[in-house]
Amino acid sequence: MPPMASTKETLAGGNIGPVRHQRHDSYLLPTDTIEERRLLEQQKALSELFGGRVLIAPVQLSPGSEVLDVGTGAGAWALAVAESHPGAAAIDITCIDIGADMFPKQHPPNMTFQVASALEMPAEWTNKFALVHQRFILSGIKYDEWEQDIREIYRVTEPGGWAQLCEWNSVVYHQEQEAAGSIGNSKPGPAGTKVMNLWMRLGEKNGVDFLCPKRIPGLMEAVGFVDIRREEWVVPLGAWNGDLSKTFAENLETVYRGFKNAVLKQGGFGVVQGGEDYDALINEVVREWAAGPGGYDSFVVFVGRKLQ
């Protein structure tokens, strides 16, 4: 496994290459200033990992184009588009989420933030957006809601427009490596394995699908998207591999700590007995990452085009 790795694959019809508060019962992470800061730092790290790209979809945005950011959170991706895309001031960016807790207090005038569900967007948005972006909502919707989510994304995408969906892929990555017998140095340590198992148990208990990246391309094709393409990035965790790997380790540590209340609410699944036990487990995971190869993070982006 190289220090950083990425893969690209065309999948269908393609010729393109304190108490931390919850915002919704289905959302497993808190919505506080810690999470807001994490999301903004995550955007910077992902942009570097993606080679400086904010737009992975090969969409051409012209003056008057409209962009939708679904599950915007703190608006990190949308703000990056506004800051980095040539001519961004001439496009309209709409950002939605199921709660307004983390919406930025300041943003460019061509950006609009509103509370709306990805599963039931306004009827008047049909065929409206040149690009629909969605990222990291796997912990916020149920297994059986994914089909409706992607159907809604297809509906609001304009004919000829693009969807760009990014999800956390680490559980899938480790399962695939183990199945192929090539886990090697990417095998998590004992504490990392425990946390991964906790995640899976938490997902099952809450009806959340941490393996959703396996299903997304099929769901996109089923609703009508074409030219579906998949790109995956794998990054080692820990300062031993440089600043970017250190940043991703710190970011994932914050995620792990953010799941604490959700895990304890379910009694710890027989893995941890209480808050101090959970904290000690995460501390051990961080030590494993710092010790050298063993912890890896993985991200996957799917893009697809709506027929004219």
CATH number at residue 162: 3.40.50.150
Check residue 181 and give its pLDDT: 67
CB atoms < 10 A from the CB of 88, how many? 19
Query: Are the C-beta atoms of 285 and 295 separated by less than 8 Å?
Result: yes
Nearest to 288 by CA among 244, 251, 254, 239: 239
Angle between helices 190-206 and 275-291 (to 10 degrees): 130
Per-residue pLDDT at 49 exceeds 70:
yes
Per-residue pLDDT at 16 exceeds 70:
no
Residues whose CB falls within 8 Å of the CB of residue 34, separated by 6 or more in sequence, listed in order: 20, 254, 258
Question: What integer best gives the mean pLDDT of the chain?
Answer: 90
Q: Which amino acid is at 135?
A: R
Return the DSSP state at 26: T
Residues whose CB falls within 8 Å of the CB of residue 48, separated by 6 or more in sequence, listed in order: 244
Q: Alpha-carbon distance 187 to 110, whole Å?
A: 45
Query: Are the C-beta atoms of 278 and 268 separated by less than 8 Å?
Result: yes
Mean pLDDT of 103-123: 97
Mean pLDDT of 244-263: 95
Q: Is 159 helix (H, G, I), strand (E, B) or coil?
A: strand
Share of the chain residues as helix, strand and coil, in percent rounded to the nearest 5 = 45, 20, 35
Of all residues in the chain, what percent carry a pLDDT higher than 70?
A: 90
Which strands sit side by side in the sheet containing 111-115, from one edge to the other?
A: 5-12, 226-236, 296-305, 157-168, 129-135, 66-70, 92-97, 111-115
Does residue 255 come out as left (phi exceeding 0), alpha (psi in the -120 to 50 range) or beta? alpha
Check residue 2 and give its pLDDT: 47
Predicted structure pTM score: 0.90
Check residue 3 and give its pLDDT: 58
Alpha helices in the chain (DSSP H): 33-49, 76-84, 146-156, 170-179, 190-206, 216-223, 243-258, 260-265, 275-291
Per-residue pLDDT at 14 exceeds 70:
no
Beta bridge mates, 114: 96
Number of domains in the chain: 1
Residue-range definition of the domain harbouring residue 210: 5-305
Query: Are the C-beta atoms of 188 and 288 separated by less than 8 Å?
Result: yes
Per-residue pLDDT at 73 exceeds 60:
yes
The token pair at 238 is 């820990």
- What is the band of 34 on the pLDDT scale with cuts at 50, 70, 90? confident
CB atoms < 10 A from the CB of 265, how many? 12
The token pair at 166 is 């990014």
Check residue 285 and give its pLDDT: 97
Residues whose CB falls within 8 Å of the CB of residue 228, separated by 6 or more in sequence, listed in order: 10, 11, 12, 13, 14, 217, 220, 221, 302, 303, 304
pLDDT tens-place string over residues 130-170: 999 999 999 899 999 999 999 999 999 999 999 999 999 98
Q: Which amino acid is at 299?
A: F
